[in-house]
Structure 1
């Protein structure tokens, strides 16, 4: 029998081993990824995630808007107090890596977001159009790992770079959330986006997946690849992905990008649009990106409902109304901003939403690839007993012909493989009797 001293030694060694595994950013197994929750603000219809930043003795909880095309991470540093925070000096290598544009000076007492000769990087609020030059800094952030089923371990990740909004609170207006600090996390291809930093720090695949919830439940951001499990289903959803190429728009689409840079937003190549298998007729040249960066199809987590060029929107609505009438779905007065609304009592309910005509985006691929949308993704309840086609007229001269919005992305797994420049996606999870609301993390 082992002595009490030996048992005590083994116990202490076990504690040290567990602690090390939970704090060393390089101990992920092959079947593990990094996970962040997704919440939906039911009023603004925006999606946000939550994380903690700062030294362990004084962490600040941050609610941050999820923006697929944003270049950086930034948040409110007014309530932020951390002894481990370090600002990036102007013209330093870290500053260049983050595309720093100016040198900032501050006459107040030094604190995060207010140091002299610090690196200033442009930040943009896509909800208000406000932008500011914020101080680039770095500190520890806490993240969690997942095996695709549940949350596994917490990790304190040092030297995570972000922008500190202290003097420029206008860039924080209208951002969703309820905790002490509000901010934004960018998921673009830039070196200082959330995805690029986490995948580099943990030496995992440069890919991320979103499972966006439609209700008050918690969805998922997975960084590093699958598996992705959506109980009660037992299959790994990373094995059920259809795929299409991600397209680079050669012209910037963000006001904080430098002239001459390619866009950081994610585009896909839509070939046609079908309603119940029949092609919608419009000028197909609108689906291509021209030499000025105009046209094409962009994916957005910030735009609540898909917006369409008027020349695409009008025939789509016309065809949808015609097919819906044949199916006995009664049209009623429109409710702004939607152009076609219906009596909900004439559209039977199914597990995938109202029984209305399907809308398919036919995408570029080796074979026919369809991004299929059932009633849950095409319709929205505008008021009692009234459902509306959840697409919006984007006008006659929009920069982008189709902006695929959040409502159309909900309750399916979307995997952005940055190394292969490929988008993978599942069909609606609702037809599998599951959703993106998995409550893996509170």
Structure 2
């Protein structure tokens, strides 16, 4: 009998061990989350939004568009706080969320460490407000509009966002949830935003931005592919890859990437890179070693400090002397007549030589902005004599480029123009497939 008991124990132990091994070895079928990206031109400048699911109502998720901001310290959007929401208590077409109390550590963290810079127009934060029937103070925090730079007070909350999962090629019906602390801002705050955008989604390196709330098994890597047209969608991934675009359904976009280190800036949660020089054909424009080059999803065109801009214009104009000039158009000072579109083939590439020696090529599609039917302009802008950052690379230079912000090893992967590889950021297949 003793022998049989020992044998039974061994069999059970083996079964439990194999069960735990199988559980530990489980690898989910998705490698990333995925969301569509839309271009908007109905505001003061071109902007881009990402579509996120916000709440579950009547057996389906509601979708909302959030402005993509890779510099914002935290998420904020059009919503109201309710401490005891119940079915039917939230007004129609309104998102209701739970408040964070001013006595909670999240309130202190956002106010003191992960906040927007205090502007003269920002009201002082206080703990005087509460909600009807709720015995605690709310947590007012200041938010700054990336469009108008005006400051508004919002209330910190506990939020709930949902996105679809993907293996880089397909979008699954399975959902991935995140529960960040965000803030509810008044509806009037979004009057200057493009139509149907009523929030700012922070994708910065801040511990209060969305990437900080996207946990295992996802790798901490944000991939962004901005569309160049209003009629088609780009794509945003967060995870480890692979990433595929049609028609090259078997080519992982990571094979196109070159890399350079992401740098930290003491006054920003945004992303910065080192730039050594700007090369136009054989002419190199050297840059000071101490300058900062910022990446922005808010600035539409690359900004260059005046002395750098003047050098770029001088060299660029030398190599485009055969193209008929046109009168300058507001924002741009270097414009050309393009009655014959074929003439743009004479425009040289602009190569950004990075700190590690790798080259980010800005092709004609990302250097020349067609502003009218017959006029195209150099999409690099004079940023002034004493700007905050000497160089800011804007979204026109991002369009149809695949960018991977790897937050685990602090590197930026960049593809240069995908158009030269016979694809574009609008070629991801968003057709939903069955969950796993």
TM-score (norm 2): 0.80
Deviation of the 1:98 alpha carbon: 3.5
Q: 1:425 & 1:439 partners in 2: Cα distance?
A: 17
Match of 1:249 among 265, 272, 282: 265
Write the mapping of 1:280-359 to structure 2, written as runs, cut at 5 A.
280=285, 284-285=287-288, 288=290, 295-325=291-321, 328-345=322-339, 348=342, 354-359=345-350
User: Aligned residue for 1:277?
Assistant: 282
Write the mapping of 1:91-240 to structure 2, written as runs, cut at 5 A.
91-99=103-111, 102-106=125-129, 109=132, 116-155=136-175, 157=177, 159-165=179-185, 168-178=186-196, 182-198=198-214, 200=215, 202-216=216-230, 217-233=232-248, 234-240=250-256
User: Aligned residue for 2:65?
Assistant: 63
Going from structure 1 to structure 2, the CA distance change for 1:172 and 1:400 (only over 3 Å counts) comes to same
Going from structure 1 to structure 2, the CA distance change for 1:318 and 1:55 (only over 3 Å counts) comes to same
Going from structure 1 to structure 2, the CA distance change for 1:421 and 1:207 (only over 3 Å counts) comes to same
Indicate the SS of the match to 2:158.
strand
Q: 2:205 & 2:146 partners in 1: Cα distance?
A: 17
Going from structure 1 to structure 2, the CA distance change for 1:156 and 1:424 (only over 3 Å counts) comes to closer
Going from structure 1 to structure 2, the CA distance change for 1:62 and 1:370 (only over 3 Å counts) comes to same
Considering only CA atoms, is the larger Rg found in Structure 1 or Structure 2? 2
Q: 1:355 & 1:77 partners in 2: Cα distance?
A: 51
CA deviation vs aligned residue, 1:10-38 (integer Å, no higher than 9, x gap): xxxxxxxxxxxxxxxxx972652011211
Asked whether the 8 Å contact 2:41–2:194 carries over to 1, the reply is no
CA deviation vs aligned residue, 1:297-355 (integer Å, no higher than 9, x gap): 10001000111111011111111111011xx3222211121111111145527xxx754
Asked whether the 8 Å contact 1:142–1:154 carries over to 2, the reply is no
Asked whether the 8 Å contact 1:54–1:139 carries over to 2, the reply is no
Unaligned runs of 5+ in 2: 1-25, 81-92, 116-124, 432-436
Q: 1:266 & 1:66 partners in 2: Cα distance?
A: 14
User: Aligned residue for 2:16?
Assistant: none
Going from structure 1 to structure 2, the CA distance change for 1:55 and 1:118 (only over 3 Å counts) comes to farther
Going from structure 1 to structure 2, the CA distance change for 1:28 and 1:313 (only over 3 Å counts) comes to farther
Write the mapping of 1:21-100 to structure 2, written as runs, cut at 5 A.
29=28, 32-44=31-43, 45-57=46-58, 60-77=62-79, 79-82=93-96, 85-99=97-111
Asked whether the 8 Å contact 1:55–1:140 carries over to 2, the reply is no
Going from structure 1 to structure 2, the CA distance change for 1:438 and 1:348 (only over 3 Å counts) comes to same
Deviation of the 1:54 alpha carbon: 2.6
Write the mapping of 1:7-22 to structure 2, written as runs, cut at 5 A.
none
Q: 2:398 & 2:430 partners in 1: Cα distance?
A: 21
Indicate the SS of the match to 1:171.
helix
Going from structure 1 to structure 2, the CA distance change for 1:158 and 1:423 (only over 3 Å counts) comes to closer
Going from structure 1 to structure 2, the CA distance change for 1:271 and 1:430 (only over 3 Å counts) comes to same
CA RMSD of aligned residues (A): 2.5
Deviation of the 1:279 alpha carbon: 0.6
Going from structure 1 to structure 2, the CA distance change for 1:237 and 1:59 (only over 3 Å counts) comes to closer
Q: 2:293 & 2:362 partners in 1: Cα distance?
A: 16
Unaligned runs of 5+ in 1: 1-26, 253-262, 289-294
User: Aligned residue for 1:255?
Assistant: none
Q: 1:441 & 1:94 partners in 2: Cα distance?
A: 36
CA deviation vs aligned residue, 1:61-94 (integer Å, no higher than 9, x gap): 3221111111111110154244xx3211113133
Asked whether the 8 Å contact 2:246–2:428 carries over to 1, the reply is no
User: Aligned residue for 1:7?
Assistant: none
Asked whether the 8 Å contact 1:55–1:139 carries over to 2, the reply is no
Asked whether the 8 Å contact 1:70–1:265 carries over to 2, the reply is yes
Q: 1:307 & 1:110 partners in 2: Cα distance?
A: 50
TM-score (norm 1): 0.79
